[in-house]
Amino acid sequence: MELNGVEIEDTYAEAFPIKIARVLITGATKRWALVAAQEAKGFGTSVIGCPAEVGIERVVPGSETPDGRPGVFLQICTFGFKSLEAQLLWRLGQCVLTAPTAAVWNGLPTAEKQFNIGFKEKWFGDGFESERNIAGRKVFAIPEMQGEFLIEENIGAVDGIAGGNFFVFGENQMAALTAAESAVDAISILEGTITPFPGGIVASGSKVGSLKYPKFMKLSTNEKYCPTLREKVPDTKIPPGVNGVFEIVINGLNEDYIKTSLKAGIEAAVRIPGVKKITAGNFGGSLGPFKFNLHDLF
Amino acid sequence: MELNGVEIEDTYAEAFPIKIARVLITGATKRWALVAAQEAKGFGTSVIGCPAEVGIERVVPGSETPDGRPGVFLQICTFGFKSLEAQLLWRLGQCVLTAPTAAVWNGLPTAEKQFNIGFKEKWFGDGFESERNIAGRKVFAIPEMQGEFLIEENIGAVDGIAGGNFFVFGENQMAALTAAESAVDAISILEGTITPFPGGIVASGSKVGSLKYPKFMKLSTNEKYCPTLREKVPDTKIPPGVNGVFEIVINGLNEDYIKTSLKAGIEAAVRIPGVKKITAGNFGGSLGPFKFNLHDLF
Amino acid sequence: MELNGVEIEDTYAEAFPIKIARVLITGATKRWALVAAQEAKGFGTSVIGCPAEVGIERVVPGSETPDGRPGVFLQICTFGFKSLEAQLLWRLGQCVLTAPTAAVWNGLPTAEKQFNIGFKEKWFGDGFESERNIAGRKVFAIPEMQGEFLIEENIGAVDGIAGGNFFVFGENQMAALTAAESAVDAISILEGTITPFPGGIVASGSKVGSLKYPKFMKLSTNEKYCPTLREKVPDTKIPPGVNGVFEIVINGLNEDYIKTSLKAGIEAAVRIPGVKKITAGNFGGSLGPFKFNLHDLF
Amino acid sequence: MELNGVEIEDTYAEAFPIKIARVLITGATKRWALVAAQEAKGFGTSVIGCPAEVGIERVVPGSETPDGRPGVFLQICTFGFKSLEAQLLWRLGQCVLTAPTAAVWNGLPTAEKQFNIGFKEKWFGDGFESERNIAGRKVFAIPEMQGEFLIEENIGAVDGIAGGNFFVFGENQMAALTAAESAVDAISILEGTITPFPGGIVASGSKVGSLKYPKFMKLSTNEKYCPTLREKVPDTKIPPGVNGVFEIVINGLNEDYIKTSLKAGIEAAVRIPGVKKITAGNFGGSLGPFKFNLHDLF
């Protein structure tokens, strides 16, 4: 199958379950909402070594937020609800409560699972905090040097999906990278998904386990997809003429959101000159129960 | 004392010792170097609740980096060398090794304390890694999907200083915030310091301990500096006409760097209309051994 | 009438007819589409002294563009069709044809008035140009050093409206400015309108004519709205406690678009602490036939 | 000659005289200074079809500006002093006087040629303007809605140079473009030069005159450097394996500044994988008296 002249391999992305909390951060302007969200997002690429996978879902105008100010949806993902609660407490308490003009709202108010993060953050107010109702939501107002910090009582979470993905093969690194950037542009305005890696892009797609250091490396470079090893690895997956590969990893609230983002990302990537092929990563079904066949997206 | 018509209070900022590692991240362009650095910087405002305090020191051109590409100096701070090593391993391994076009260089090559982070990250290469010498530095080249990731063998660290600070009092929140932003602009090009909070700015300056919840809150809102509590707190520090306060917190490699940044930040802040006063935070000497008298800066 | 506690004056914005051409500029990524659009937008605040009023309407994803790449709608406005054609020729030929990865599409394909700009720009191809059909649109492909530049044959234009506006009164300059920025954020995602001044904001609202230099100044500072002249001008419009005023000027394809943008902008502005009042500029009906009553917007 | 493994052709860039005015625009923050400068910069790529060539030279901190606020140096270039004065009047009057928090300072106070732009812009004040001395500079203060606009009495200009250039040949468009972007990053912090095209980059390098439309086209695509015409043009300059070429055009205050920027730009460009060759554009000496031999730069 080809899209804009680029081969889409007949394969699937394999993904796995994760817990996802969703927060809406508003600010005086779009820029200040993003400052808070970006601080809360960082050190959040992969649960292999980060305390959580975190990403900015999308920016919304004041007409879609409880306080009428521009907002940013943030998704925070961990394997269990206990670690998720800890990440919410620390990331919101340290990175948003401290951020100029920011406020925090429940991004999943109808989810069954709710964490009373606002209730716990309000203790920072040292007794001077108060309760308020804004747009039908129960909110705590915490006095701060800047004025006041507002945080909704609860933050909702759901069983979501991590690891949706596709790979962009490029004639060289810059062609593949620009295609990956264009894919992230397309995904960044869609509801329900995040691309948690730096700039939304993975430079270092990996395999589970290690050939040489199996005792202490849970995951290692995926040598079959490394262009510089094409001549050295017998079962290389890198065809001649490909010298750069980037992966887009997508987490999301459900399968449909991930499908929509995979499709939009791939459609954007194939528009870039020098892109040679699109494929996806899977582990033969050993990693997770979710399968996204690339050909079924179109 | 007045600066541009703004009162500078005769007080001092109190700061304390911290361990600081310094990393130089380069990228294909300034933008890609910043993408990696911002991911590594996040969730890094305060060691109260973040695994480290992290900040972008400044951007440098290719003429000042070992690989001739644009670079970003990043400082990572924790209380001990052991936690610092762990933060280096995880933040560089998860946020920079994974970032498009990024490479990692030792930002303190002559420091006595050196962590062999590059040596440990190279295991990701699963035996396909190799050693190289670039610009006199020992570097490991790790094959990746994107091509190659370069990381220097060692990352240096020193005994540095955390918590240098000043407060900006504004007629309202936006005057104080714009002044704080202008201060961060000025500090962001200076060598040796970082401003680890969101956008470089603290909205929620705090006090040690808690009046109401002393058992479980190690720190809480500094009610004496909260404008909305001016009428409710007898010993308020907020004069009439002040409705917004922001704090700039500065960490740095030594006292001189912090003095230079405090001075540049204050000189920038007092240029903004609506700024009423500059002061600083201290705890009567109980917190730390470093004192920065504001009046001595000028 | 009050909105979020801020007085909305019972007055109207007066606006006048202008010719508007609408161009869709696409690029390899959103960033490159914006680079081209920003160059084409500049020196385009007011037809008083600029060759045209130009603004970025909004950014659209590849799913809404003929070539599947991210795009930016640009509006170019002048008083007559002849000058509009000249501006299209020069701005597209000098600022978009020259821009990395950019392509030009008709932003008003069903308008009655069409300029064959693509037909004229193709001469740059010096006989090497060719004709193509993309997504049902007739396009010229011009060989360039970068590869190829695509431009649609025609660019449409309509009778539009210039000078829709409102004023933000703030306690000080920074409160008014942040409110103006938040208003521009809100308008910047809406269809059909532009805010052509720097950053979308006017710092120097003016009156028609001049008191002191009537012979050579067609317009001059609106002294009644200057906060620093409050004590010197007997009929000042600046109430006590107001020290900064910014104006948002909105051009658009029709009255409904302008109403929607005025409403969204005002609703955003009143959310900022320190905003004291919203009003609008008119000249008693002498300037133009379009009136936008502020109270009718809500 | 090779640089980082990339061939530097033994040729020269040919450049020609132009008049350059230099303005320093300051703002409340770096961001607001840039907003004003970008508006004043636009529609300013080439005097072929723009009223001036305009570019941002570099950003400077408040410690280097008369009002202690962050600043941006802007260069405005035309062939004659008369048109230069008109461009100064309109671009500063329409794009900077109107911009939030901006002020205008003389960027060449010791140049022999001085335009009394401030004296003329002050008439906008309609008699309410006043004169002031700031940091030894004679300044006019014009009351505006935002507060006050400051502009220095004179703006200096010199005989400068336009058209310094080099070409980046890439394996494909994205490799060449990323290299061009990295070159612009490097040049953008240097004193004395601008890169006036969109994003600092020319996608459409041209030749003087036209083969097919000589009567009405003063310049046209340089078919010898068009990758898509490699097979069709007998004397093509595009070697096999090159599919994208971008040009960096540099204007500057004198030859030394241009040499420094050419060198820094080329050194940055050759770091990008997929760059195949660097060359430069000249017209056999017919265009201008300035020659920059590429090999002499290193």
Nearest to C94 by CA among D181, D208, D47: D47
Q: What is the mean pLDDT of chain D?
A: 97
Distance from CA of D63 to the nearest CA of B (A): 8
Per-residue tens of pLDDT for chain C, all 298 residues? 999 999 999 999 999 999 999 999 999 999 999 999 999 999 999 999 999 999 999 999 999 999 999 999 999 999 999 999 999 999 999 999 999 999 999 999 999 999 999 999 999 999 999 999 999 999 999 999 999 999 999 999 999 999 999 999 999 999 999 999 999 999 999 999 999 999 999 999 999 899 999 999 989 999 999 999 999 999 999 999 999 999 999 999 999 999 999 999 999 999 999 999 999 999 877 777 999 999 999 9
In this complex, which chains have at least 3 CB pairs below 8 Å with chain A?
Answer: B, C, D
The pLDDT of residue A286 is 77
Sign of the Cα pseudo-torsion (D256, D257, D258, D260, in order): positive
In this complex, which chains have at least 3 CB pairs below 8 Å with chain B?
Answer: A, C, D
Distance from CA of D221 to the nearest CA of A (A): 21
Average pLDDT over residues A137-153: 98
Sign of the Cα pseudo-torsion (C281, C285, C289, C293, in order): positive
Q: Is the pLDDT of residue D187 over 80?
A: yes
DSSP assignments along A4-54, one per residue: TTEEE-S-EEEEEEEEEEEEEEE-SSHHHHHHHHHHHHSS-S-TTTSS-EE
Cα C29 to Cα D38: distance, rounded to the nearest angstrom: 20
C-beta separation of D267 from D187 below 8 A = no
Whether residues D271 and B29 touch (CB distance < 8 A) is answered with no
Cα A25 to Cα A37: distance, rounded to the nearest angstrom: 7
Cα D165 to Cα A271: distance, rounded to the nearest angstrom: 30
**Which residue among B177, B244, B274 sits closest to C173, beta carbon to beta carbon?**
B274
Cα B8 to Cα B276: distance, rounded to the nearest angstrom: 9
Q: Is the pLDDT of residue B188 over 90?
A: yes
- Find, in chain B, the residue whose alpha carbon is nearest to that of A143: B226
Taking only the tens place, the pLDDT of each residue in D206-231 is: 998 999 999 999 899 999 999 999 99
Query: Which residues in B lie closer than 8 A to residue C272 (C-beta atoms)?
Result: 174
The pLDDT of residue A283 is 82
Cα–Cα separations (whole angstroms), residue D233 to D224, D225, D238, D243, D294: 7, 9, 10, 15, 26
Whether residues A128 and B229 touch (CB distance < 8 A) is answered with yes
The pLDDT of residue C234 is 93
β-partners of residue B237 are none
The pLDDT of residue D287 is 76
Whether residues B181 and D29 touch (CB distance < 8 A) is answered with yes
Q: Please tell me the total number of residues recorded for chain A in this structure.
A: 298
Taking only the tens place, the pLDDT of each residue in B253-265 is: 999 999 999 999 9
Question: For chain A, where are the E strands, in sequence order?
Answer: 2-3, 6-8, 12-26, 53-60, 71-78, 103-106, 113-115, 130-134, 137-144, 147-152, 155-170, 193-194, 206-208, 219-221, 244-252, 275-279, 290-293
Residue from A31, A169, A174 to probe the interface with D (highest D Cβ count within 10 Å): A174
Taking only the tens place, the pLDDT of each residue in A154-196 is: 999 999 999 999 999 999 999 999 999 999 999 999 999 999 9
C-beta separation of A271 from C150 below 8 A = no
Query: Which residues in C lie closer than 8 A to residue B272 (C-beta atoms)?
Result: 174
Residues with Cβ within 8 Å of residue C233, at least 6 apart in sequence: C223, C224, C226
Whether residues B174 and C243 touch (CB distance < 8 A) is answered with no
Amino acid in the structure at residue B293? N
Confidence of residue D283 (pLDDT cuts 50, 70, 90): confident
Query: Which residues in D lie closer than 8 A to residue A178 (C-beta atoms)?
Result: 174, 177-178
Whether residues D144 and C51 touch (CB distance < 8 A) is answered with no
Distance from CA of B73 to the nearest CA of C (A): 25
Query: Which residues in C lie closer than 8 A to residue B274 (C-beta atoms)?
Result: 171-175, 243
DSSP assignments along B122-185, one per residue: GGGGTT--EEEEETTEEEEEEEETTEEEEEES-EEEEEEEEEEEEEEEESSHHHHHHHHHHHHH
Distance from CA of D230 to the nearest CA of B (A): 29
Confidence of residue D86 (pLDDT cuts 50, 70, 90): very high
Angle between the N-to-C axes of helices B173-187 and D30-41, in degrees from 0 to 180, rounded to the nearest 10: 80
ipTM above 0.95?
yes
Query: Which residues in A lie closer than 8 A to residue D272 (C-beta atoms)?
Result: 174
Whether residues B274 and C178 touch (CB distance < 8 A) is answered with no
Cα D159 to Cα D21: distance, rounded to the nearest angstrom: 9
Neighbours of C64 (CB within 10 A): 12
Whether residues A44 and B49 touch (CB distance < 8 A) is answered with no
Query: Which residues in B lie closer than 8 A to residue C273 (C-beta atoms)?
Result: 172-174, 243-244
- Find, in chain C, the residue whose alpha carbon is nearest to that of A260: C63
Neighbours of C93 (CB within 10 A): 24
Distance from CA of C233 to the nearest CA of B (A): 22
Taking only the tens place, the pLDDT of each residue in D53-71 is: 999 999 999 999 999 999 9
The pLDDT of residue D288 is 79
Neighbours of B123 (CB within 10 A): 19
C-beta separation of A104 from A64 below 8 A = no
The pLDDT of residue D236 is 97
Taking only the tens place, the pLDDT of each residue in B243-255 is: 999 999 999 999 9
Taking only the tens place, the pLDDT of each residue in B29-81 is: 999 999 999 999 999 999 999 999 999 999 999 999 999 999 999 999 999 99
Token pair for residue B64?
A: 């000042």
Distance from CA of B251 to the nearest CA of C (A): 28
Domains of chain B by start residue, with CATH: 2-14+159-282 (3.30.70.520), 19-158 (3.30.70.520)
Confidence of residue D157 (pLDDT cuts 50, 70, 90): very high
